[in-house]
Structure 1
Amino acid sequence: MSRLVSSIPCCAATAVLVLGLISSAEAAGKEVVQYRLTEQRTLHLDDAKVAKQYHETMQQLGCETQLDDHGGHVDLTYRCREWREVDFPDHAAAHKWESWLKALRFEVNHTH
């Protein structure tokens, strides 16, 4: 797994967490994270399960994604051309996802 990927808090629990936060935050609307990535990026992932989790999380966030399994690893190519936003129930959750998106090279704005 690449150094970038190992520093990003994405796993099954994180994917479930973001989906739960998005649902519960819709009513609260306390913290907003806006994001976009106009240029395609590719992650090289050694674990197919982790690649699938990233893929599903990116899709839930409205990103274009493509998985390519070859040579003993999986490439996940992703992009989000337009600005999108997600509401979170608190600052800590919003900051965690802001950091995660920045680590994946997204442009990110976090407002209260």
Structure 2
Amino acid sequence: MLKRISRLLCFVALASVGSIASAEESIAFCLPEWKEMHFDDSAKAQQHLAAVQKLGCEAKIDNHGGHTDVVYRSPKWKSMEVATDELAHQWESWLKKAGFETLHGHAADHGGDDHAGHEGRDHAAHDHAGHSHAAGQVEEVNYRITDWKTIHIENQEQLAELTAMLKGLGCELKSSQHSGHADLSFRCPQWKHIEVGSHQVATTWEQWLAKTGFEAKHVH
């Protein structure tokens, strides 16, 4: 699995330099606190180190007691682009297993569900294209913003982080630089949703989306 991820990382790195405009899916990710993963196999530890470094993480190796720890973090939101929804799910799964928080916006009809109107749906256990969830494992936050919204940003780090988050949510983006600041415009006219692992996290994202200008609905 690690070798496969490493090969995919090489592809993503090349795509970001080349024609990334052809990518169709984005995943945003962050890991604010240091994450430590234990490996008994030093080769696998090196592969994991290389993978998180290619994602732009701060990372280091700690050898002790006959095993290896890979320690890493990515405190700011970043994003990566892939060609298909299937690849996006593979990456999102790997990132979550590696300890990252992720954002990947799904279309309202993803897997055949209507997320704008939820009457009659069984939210306890459902299946989406490419992945399934048992009861209690996921909650959904639905969102849209039909008109373009523009945010004035003077800090370049904030611009990069917000851009990554909005890409992960699947928004259309436009940006312009002038007079020492940037204007970031975005919209998401069709209903989309993100899937999170707890009620608390879902509520936090619902509040953030509403404050940012989205219509937001938390599906229990």
TM-score band by shorter chain is 0.7 to 0.9
Matches within 5 A, 1:1-112: 9=1, 11-24=2-15, 26-111=20-105, 112=170
Cα contact 1:24–1:89 (8 A) shared by 2? no
Unaligned runs of 5+ in 1: 1-8
Structure 2 counterpart of 1:16, which letter? Answer: R
Number of aligned pairs? 103
More helix by share: 1
Deviation at 1:33, TM superposition (A): 0.4
Secondary structure in 1 matching 2:8: helix
Q: For residues 80 and 86 of structure 1, what CA distance do their matches in structure 2 show? A: 13
Q: For residues 103 and 95 of structure 1, what CA distance do their matches in structure 2 show? A: 12
Runs of 4+ in 1 over 6 A off after TM superposition: none
TM-score, structure 2 normalization: 0.44
Unaligned runs of 5+ in 2: 106-169, 171-220
Secondary structure in 2 matching 1:35: strand
Cα contact 1:41–1:77 (8 A) shared by 2? yes
Question: What's the % identity of the aligned pairs?
Answer: 34
Matched with 1:6 is none
Q: For residues 97 and 65 of structure 2, what CA distance do their matches in structure 1 show? A: 25
Q: RMSD across aligned C-alpha pairs, in angstroms?
A: 1.5
Cα contact 1:21–1:89 (8 A) shared by 2? no
Deviation at 1:22, TM superposition (A): 4.2
TM-score, structure 1 normalization: 0.84
Deviation at 1:50, TM superposition (A): 0.6
Query: Whose RCO is larger (CA < 8 A, sep 6+)?
Result: 1
Cα deviation 1:44-91 (Å, max 9, x = unaligned): 001111111110110100001010111111000110000000000111
Q: For residues 91 and 61 of structure 1, what CA distance do their matches in structure 2 show? A: 19
Structure 1 counterpart of 2:98, which letter? Answer: L
Cα contact 1:36–1:80 (8 A) shared by 2? yes
Higher Rg of the two aligned structures: 2
Q: For residues 8 and 41 of structure 2, what CA distance do their matches in structure 1 show? A: 20
